[in-house]
Structure 1
Amino acid sequence: GLELEKCLRSNMCLPKAPQVRLVNRGSSSNIFINNTAYANFLYSRFHASVVDKETAAVSLVCLEEDLPFIAFRAVSNLAGAESSTNNEASTFAPLAAKNAVMFVLKFLTLLK
């Protein structure tokens, strides 16, 4: 049971509490996706429910160096979505980062 933070400040909160979710298939690229049609294409064609910009690069280095690797990602925006909470990644990236750190720390305690 990990309760993630919902608010950056008292006047800037997500409409719903964030959740830890297992993603069966994600995608990683060198572009920031803010296009609903393209996000829908990635999901319909590849069943990718999240897209990030860094995981592929890190995983490739780990693969080449024969290092174990696991990725934990915090989603900070919804591609192409309009929202009353301002859907910009720059708005909720600090909250996503804080929640990601909380999750990783909890994960590490469970490994002990």
Structure 2
Amino acid sequence: MTKTNLLLVVVERGPWHFKDSCKVPPDTEPVATTNSTTSREPCHKLELGQLPRRRLEDCFTYHEKEKNITACGIGAITRVDLRAFVSTAITLLITTILLR
């Protein structure tokens, strides 16, 4: 048996069909099933905190190669786009002259 901390969630597909658009959302009202109306036991939420789980073998809050990171992406490099600057300046100049 493989040890894991994963949890499988299964959702039964309902009777709704959206075809090409999602304009009308599905109804989320609960629907009684034969098990829910004939069972003598009440419906209980599972106590997920009491499930057996293996402990993590290591601490994953820090990676040893994080100290080698010097910059995250190109956001650390600041540049001026000359074409955008000139076109903005010309546009502001023209609108200022025209509004006088």
Q: Please report the TM-score for the alignment, with normalisation by the length of structure 1.
A: 0.18
Q: Please report the TM-score for the alignment, with normalisation by the length of structure 2.
A: 0.19
Higher relative contact order (CA 8 A, sep 6+): 2
> Is the strand fraction higher in 1 or 2?
1
